[in-house]
Amino acid sequence: MIFKILGADGITIHPRPDERHIRFQDVYDLKKVLLTEYNIEGYPSLEFMKLVDEVRPGQVTLVPDPPGVLTSNAGWDMISQGAFLKDVVSYFKSIHCRVSLFVDPSPLMVEAASYTGTDRIELYTEVYASGFDQDPSEAVRSYIEAAQKASEVGLGINAGHDLNLQNLAYFKRMVPTS
């Protein structure tokens, strides 16, 4: 309840196998008190899929960081992983979860994501954040192109990784979301 009281539209958690960010029990406990959007992100291992099936969040975001990988440092390769993701997306949609796929800011990857049946994409923004101080307009260019492609193919857009108070407003102003 507290998140809505404080003005948050939602919460995203990323339970990892080593529980370094959040414990699995926390995932269940949060479900009991949230009045806002609940987004669980992670790699679609059998354990993760079981967790999402039991909790049934409003959204599940699939990231390409299998167990043993420290963090997400790139989006899905939609060309080589598209068939696998199509099956996973179909499963999550069958249990009434909106699905988002973590992708790099590439129109090719965005278009390929649309063939999986996903509802949204999450643009991996570390490259934008790293280039923002040197040349904001160049840093955001590929994100604008990817967002335009997402709009063309009917996908919603999220963004995440290294966005902060210095670079977020510019990103929001420049990147179309519909």
Active site positions, annotated:
14, 41, 161
Distance from C-alpha of 31 to C-alpha of 18, rounded to nearest angstrom: 21
Q: With contact defined as beta carbons under 8 Å apart, do 83 and 121 qualify?
A: no
How is the beta sheet containing 10-13 ordered, strand by strand?
A: 10-13, 37-42, 59-62, 98-103, 120-124, 156-160
- Report the first-to-last Cα separation within the chain, whole angstroms: 29
Distances (CA, A) of 54 to 97, 107, 113: 12, 34, 26
d(CA 17, CA 48): 9
Looking at the DSSP bridge assignments, the partners of residue 100 are 61, 120
Instruction: Report the distance separating Cα 37 and Cα 9, nearest Å.
Output: 6
Contact 118, 156 (CB under 8 A): no
